[in-house]
Amino acid sequence: MVVSVALREPETQPRLRAADRSRALTRSSLISSAKELFATRGLHGVTTHAIARHAGVAAGTFYLHFKDKSEIFREIALETMAGLRAVLTRVNSTEVSLRDGVRPRVEGLVRFAEENRDVMRIIFGNDTEAAQIESELLDAFAADIARGRSQKVESGEMPAEIDPAVMSQALVGMLARVVRWWLEDPTRASRETVIETLTRIQLSGTHPRKT
């Protein structure tokens, strides 16, 4: 996607454009190499040399594009998270009611996860150094959810006993773990089962206590 952005910038000179294109190519090469490697080996398990080698460039080139090993990780993580949020937001905006919206949102998540296995493994993967970034991301995600939930609580659609902040953390944790678990071996459950189960849990607690 970095590439396509570069193709659209009209104000740069042709000469510069060529240089830019080459630079952008190297950059995206590094990024996709990093995605692949981080996904399977984690932040710690990947060396900058390995990323460069995999991208077919020299070791030093890495540092022409990224200040740090963590910078590229951060960038990948942020970009991916943005993609995921976009998917979920799109669903959100068309949702009519919470009840009706849950399923499409879960579907969106699951489909996105399938299409972005590597990158989901990175985000939902485990890595102490990634934890900080991950936290920011998931917290933002959780905040999104929390906002929606708050409204339901206020409007009485959700019982006050359910704290939106806690609830959102719970949902994020749940989704992250299930997705990671499922991606590790997609034969563990059919996609339908995953979606159905997650949907039902999501709905849980959303109806006011009977008693």
Return residues touching DNA (CB under 7 A): 2, 14-16, 18-20, 22-23, 25-26, 46-49, 57-65, 68-69
59 binding partner (options a second copy, DNA, none; Cβ < 5 to 8 Å by kind): DNA
d(CA 205, CA 185): 30
Burial 38-74 (b: 16+ CB within 10 A, else e): bbeebbeebebeebbebbebeeebbeebbeebeebbb
**Residue placing its CB nearer to DNA in the complex, 26 or 168:** 26
127 binding partner (options a second copy, DNA, none; Cβ < 5 to 8 Å by kind): a second copy
Contacts of 159 (CB under 8 A, 6+ apart): 153, 205, 208, 209
**Minimum CB separation from a second copy for residue 93, in Å?**
25
Burial of 94 (0-12, 13-18, 19+ CB in 10 A): exposed
**Residue placing its CB nearer to a second copy in the complex, 27 or 134:** 134
68 binding partner (options a second copy, DNA, none; Cβ < 5 to 8 Å by kind): DNA
Q: What are phi and psi of 204, to 5 degrees?
A: -55, 145
**Minimum CB separation from a second copy for residue 183, in Å?**
12
| Residues in touch with a second copy (CB under 8 A) | 41-45, 125-131, 134, 138, 159, 161-163, 165-167, 169-178, 181-182, 188-189, 193-194, 196-198, 200-201, 203-206
**Residue placing its CB nearer to a second copy in the complex, 87 or 122:** 122
